[in-house]
Amino acid sequence: MAEKLYLEDSYVRQLDAVVTSVNGKDIELNRTIFYPTGGGQPCDTGTISLTGRVAAVTGVRKDGERVIHTVDDASGISEGMEVHCALDWEKRYIHMKLHTALHIIDGVVEKMYSGKITGSQIYDDRARIDFDVPGLDKAKAQEIIDNSQKVVNDNHKVTVKFLTKSEASAIQNIARTAPGEELLNSLDRVRIIDIEGFDFQLDGGTHVAQTKEVGKINITKYENKGSHNKRIEIVLDN
């Protein structure tokens, strides 16, 4: 099982690792900085390099506890080799900022509007959010974003914490989605994102260290998809 450094520190951009398995274009490493697709967040991309050549990492996925890196060309890479890994940092960093923005919006909706986020998806340049909030219209959606921006501007520290299942289960609303509840029930050690002084939530994705890094949240699209489902898209400006 690979050591998953992205769970501990989202800012590690490069590291050396050892190849533990090669299957066609799929490579496993003893440790990795590459985030695999999951939880509404796209995978990282970047490079795995060794003497004389560089392979582009085009996809990363999980298989149980395994992290599998798909490269454009695995020729010359074999088990036991030492390689150097490097992220496409610009892509990772926008994912970090968007994911933190989604957590802040989720916290605002839960605390101030007696609603919930029913779905979300991060892209490389924007994010989509689905809401179930009483009386939500375009004006109230903007109000939610304005209140979320206040949290961003207050510059809360964002930290990763690990709790036991019993510790996490004792915290109200720590898992706000069905997948989150399943995760809470299946793990003995639970990863938490703490936006200090504001929100505390189970999560497996990558995040910034200070909320001010998120920048300015802007709504680019609002859609009414039913009485209990309103959708917005956001982008970030710095």
Residue among 108, 106, 86 at smallest CA distance from 203: 106
Of 91-95, 178-182, 224-228, 233-237, which range is least confident? 178-182
Write out the residue limits of the CATH 2.40.30.130 domain(s) in the chain: 3-87
CB 204 within 8 A of CB 183: yes
Residue 36 is classified by DSSP as P
Task: Assess whether pLDDT exceeds 70 at residue 60.
Answer: yes
- In the predicted model, what is the mean pLDDT of the chain? 93
Residue among 82, 83, 86, 71 at smallest CA distance from 23: 71
What is the pLDDT, as a whole number, of residue 171?
82
> How many Cα atoms are found within 13 Å in the side-chain-facing hemisphere of 144?
37
Integer Cα distance of 93 and 69 in angstroms: 19
Residues 144-148 have a mean pLDDT of 98
Residues 154-168 have a mean pLDDT of 93
Task: Assess whether pLDDT exceeds 60 at residue 178.
Answer: no
Task: Assess whether pLDDT exceeds 70 at residue 114.
Answer: yes
What is the pLDDT, as a whole number, of residue 112?
94
Integer Cα distance of 236 and 216 in angstroms: 5
Q: Is 3-87 CATH 3.20.20.150?
A: no
* pTM of the shown model: 0.95
Write out the residue limits of the CATH 3.30.980.10 domain(s) in the chain: 92-237
Residue among 116, 108, 132, 115 at smallest CA distance from 225: 132
Amino acid at 238: N
Cβ-count burial of 229 within 10 angstroms (0-12 exposed, 13-18 middle, 19+ buried)? middle
Which helix (H) or strand (E) segment is 163 a member of? Answer: strand 158-164
Kindly list the distances between the CA atom of residue 211 and the CA atoms of 95, 137, 146, 193, in Å, as whole numbers in the listed order: 14, 26, 14, 12
What is the pLDDT, as a whole number, of residue 150?
98
Residue among 147, 74, 72 at smallest CA distance from 107: 147
68 pLDDT band, cuts 50/70/90, is very high
Integer Cα distance of 56 and 59 in angstroms: 9
174 pLDDT band, cuts 50/70/90, is confident
CB 109 within 8 A of CB 146: no
CB 230 within 8 A of CB 131: yes
Query: Which CATH architecture group holds 92-237?
Result: 2-Layer Sandwich (3.30)
CB 62 within 8 A of CB 36: yes
> For residue range 11-35, what is the model confidence (pLDDT) as tens digits?
999 999 999 999 999 999 999 999 9
**What three-state secondary structure class fits 77?**
coil
Amino acid at 191: R
